Structure 1
């Protein structure tokens, strides 16, 4: 059952249902999706993670449409136009592929593998629609574009890990590096707009860390994406309601330690007076904590993030002591701090700098990220878009299509059909499909007028098992992110670069003849137009 029982034909933008009568007559049309900028247009690190296609395929795209859904859509469209009049939609085409194609949407979709590390302007998927269905090429754009969200969360999470890894490399001994996987914990479930968002965003975070309190994502990743093998962990912890339910904070902490003090557990410390809790309550439970023998994590939840973390570190060092590791940094004995309030990419850096500057190893501090991880991103964070790139008209004439707005050259698109091939370093290079090297195209067919069946099964309902499991995707992210340079201007192949240059000249000629054309764009040494920040790859 689809969410809210909305018919599949309605999972698009209103205006798209009218495009079947607006496109020119065509034999074939091709569109593609890309991120047009790096995360928040960062110039220092342009790497991004593509993730989330599998979820969309399994739940919305590789799902057969039904006659009943089309009839419900028809009923809706009867009053959807201005003045509550009939709105156009391609009902006859829908009915045709339901009958002729078992209800599967009649396009081919190629996509990068889940977890592929890319740069701006690398096509992440390509849609091809042919014959009578050519005009449906961008009908699925609305749903497919939603890969922006898990890709953006995965990229943000990985960027945070990169910061933490640098602090670990500087301050943490090798035998403690295992703690890095839990340093950024997903606290974002309650801030999500829906359970579905928590699953999609929460799984994206788990590509980089195994710490989460978002149970929906932890379960989904384990049992739907990883064959039942564990993916995520958490620890028992108090909340303010637990702390304030007792007459004193000491009693609440004793209760925590009696039940969970033999292992790792966490306690929020600012229900009343954070400084008093550190100076007076913490020493009063120290003996009990030591008797239990476990590891205690203290959590401030208000105040200046840097100040409260430093106060916490000094307090636990004073109460429980610390050792100095081989790199000369202090490691508190049996206790640490987790900062879960106001954590962002920027504040995380600031806190770690203060921590290490004070002589503490980075392993002494963990982070809980909620809104900053799952909510404070949008489609513009990495500027995702889907655009038409080629059309073959009814008479057989082939034309590459390129968007090149004078008023927004940051929204330029690429012309033609594409192949993505790694160079010797592993950088994904974009080629015109007709000129790609013999090396494997990273854009692989994942849907072709229906689910792709594997040799092991001809049953469409199980064909999506051909997707890599979560552990494999995790490994891909880790391997490719480490191998690729932070920035590159070589993702456009010479052949595609030449196409872009030729297109510019065509538009300039159209301008001279009185048609609307392109204006000034970023230029390389040859004066040819390329997407912002991208140059031609070396021959």
Structure 2
């Protein structure tokens, strides 16, 4: 697809609509509100910029600059003439093709840092006065691609903080477990492959567990990831259990443990009757499970996650399987140890994972309920799926890219928006900006001079087709982990 189509249709006439003599348009990318974000997401993780601008650079090279000018410009002329019902002039596109690179400068906060709401994370400005129009021509594709990795990384960080808080309270000697306690199950429920990748990279910047395989190669390509990137385990699905037949489900368990005599093996256990698995089959398989050189992980997949893992709250203290929940039933069969903090830790040969409809609120409730029952929260892994990562929009953090400064006939103008009918969320910064760190917090300072704009924490990462100040996955993870 022609790279010039990577925008909203209404932007195709904006080069004619700016004041005559416009030479520069300067915009910033800012999270404006967390009103729709999960409770506890008070800041936003800076993440995804390097991927987005590398992708955009490569796309323009492959689908515009490297193709004959007549071909790509005539193609867009024909398409837009039909689209707008006019003889569309493509002179500005032809001039861009002659230039052979995107004449923009991108400044960004470091990836992996947390940014308060209403503090810009990115600025975009044209570097050639002839192409003042390109700054906000790119707004659409940048918005499309930037909001999701930042949103997913921010929510993943909230999960990790929940896990850390409860691990410190119930099993602090096992703190490294939290790197794997949130596992990405989201790929099948995302809106498309690119959505799965950019969201999955956001998760992978925070956690080390994922079943979204394309994320690994993307982190290697765009963030120079080396060695181990993300991990998972051997695991079944319902088709495997069904193929083994309902009448011989216990035989399927035996076969699986024979096939995988060591390591972690996750078995979906509610294809038919979870409680029968936990009260009939597993007691019969106890010696086989304990004889394995590894952990058998029981995976429920239906119902209320909190009640399934922790037991029905309305009958807390009862003795039915539903009253007890998965973790307590596993303790009844396999036992374990009581750690120095006084919490029960399952025998290392057995564990649990739940990955259906998990939210940050449910994760908090599961940890709270397990703790209340005297169990370490490290007895369970939570699969974080599209119920968390796809149920978001650009509005989750109110992301927007807005112009705040222009140069017209050599005169710099500070511009801003502040709709009288709005509640203040859409009010933009004004003029050139910089971001400083004051008392350990990123702070916006607007209406600065061009000299001051060159100072501060926003650093150039892309200019006139060249990349600068690149980062690695390890550097991003180190910044994120410093805030957990």
TM over 0.5: yes
Equivalent residue runs for 1:385-534 within 5 Å:
385-394=400-409, 396-408=410-422, 409-434=424-449, 441-452=456-467, 466-479=469-482, 481-482=483-484
Unpaired segments ≥5 residues, structure 1:
1-5, 455-465, 483-539
CA RMSD of aligned residues (A): 2.0
* Kept in 2: contact 1:261–1:296 (CA 8 A): no
Q: Which residue in 1 is equivalent to 2:120?
A: 123
Q: Which residue in 1 is equivalent to 2:46?
A: 50
Q: Which residue in 1 is equivalent to 2:313?
A: none
Q: Which residue in 1 is equivalent to 2:309?
A: 309
Shift of 1:74: 1.7
Q: Calculate the TM-score normalised by the size of structure 2.
A: 0.90
Equivalent pairs, count: 456
Shift of 1:173: 3.1
* Kept in 2: contact 1:111–1:125 (CA 8 A): yes
Q: Secondary structure at the match of 1:427?
A: strand
From 8, 22, 34, the equivalent of 1:13 is: 8
Segment drifting more, 364-373 vs 7-16: 364-373
* Kept in 2: contact 1:421–1:436 (CA 8 A): no
1:473-495 CA-partner distances (Å, limit 9, x unpaired): 1111222x34xxxxxxxxxxxxx
Distance 2:214 2:340 in 1: 40
Shift of 1:209: 0.6
Q: Secondary structure at the match of 2:83?
A: coil
Asked if 1:143 corresponds to 2:141, the answer is yes
Q: Which residue in 2 is equivalent to 1:71?
A: 74
Q: Which residue in 2 is equivalent to 1:29?
A: 25
Distance 2:258 2:413 in 1: 73
Distance 2:74 2:453 in 1: 47
Per the alignment, do residues 77 and 435 of structure 1 end up closer, same or farther by CA in structure 2, a change over 3 Å counting?
closer
Q: Calculate the TM-score normalised by the size of structure 1.
A: 0.81
* Kept in 2: contact 1:106–1:133 (CA 8 A): yes
Shift of 1:293: 2.9
Shift of 1:228: 3.0
Q: Which residue in 2 is equivalent to 1:494?
A: none
Distance 1:384 1:179 in 2: 33
Distance 2:357 2:204 in 1: 20
1:290-310 CA-partner distances (Å, limit 9, x unpaired): 122311111111122112112
Q: Which residue in 2 is equivalent to 1:185?
A: 183
Shift of 1:106: 1.8
Equivalent residue runs for 1:189-200 within 5 Å:
189-200=187-198
Segment drifting more, 311-320 vs 9-18: 311-320
Q: Secondary structure at the match of 2:449?
A: helix
* Kept in 2: contact 1:39–1:46 (CA 8 A): no
Q: Secondary structure at the match of 1:337?
A: strand
Distance 1:8 1:209 in 2: 34
Asked if 1:323 corresponds to 2:320, the answer is no
Shift of 1:469: 1.0
Distance 2:413 2:453 in 1: 25
Distance 1:322 1:264 in 2: 17
Per the alignment, do residues 474 and 400 of structure 1 end up closer, same or farther by CA in structure 2, a change over 3 Å counting?
same
Distance 2:478 2:326 in 1: 35
Shift of 1:56: 1.5
Per the alignment, do residues 45 and 195 of structure 1 end up closer, same or farther by CA in structure 2, a change over 3 Å counting?
closer
Per the alignment, do residues 45 and 136 of structure 1 end up closer, same or farther by CA in structure 2, a change over 3 Å counting?
closer
Q: Secondary structure at the match of 1:229?
A: coil
1:380-401 CA-partner distances (Å, limit 9, x unpaired): 000011111012222x332211
Shift of 1:288: 1.1
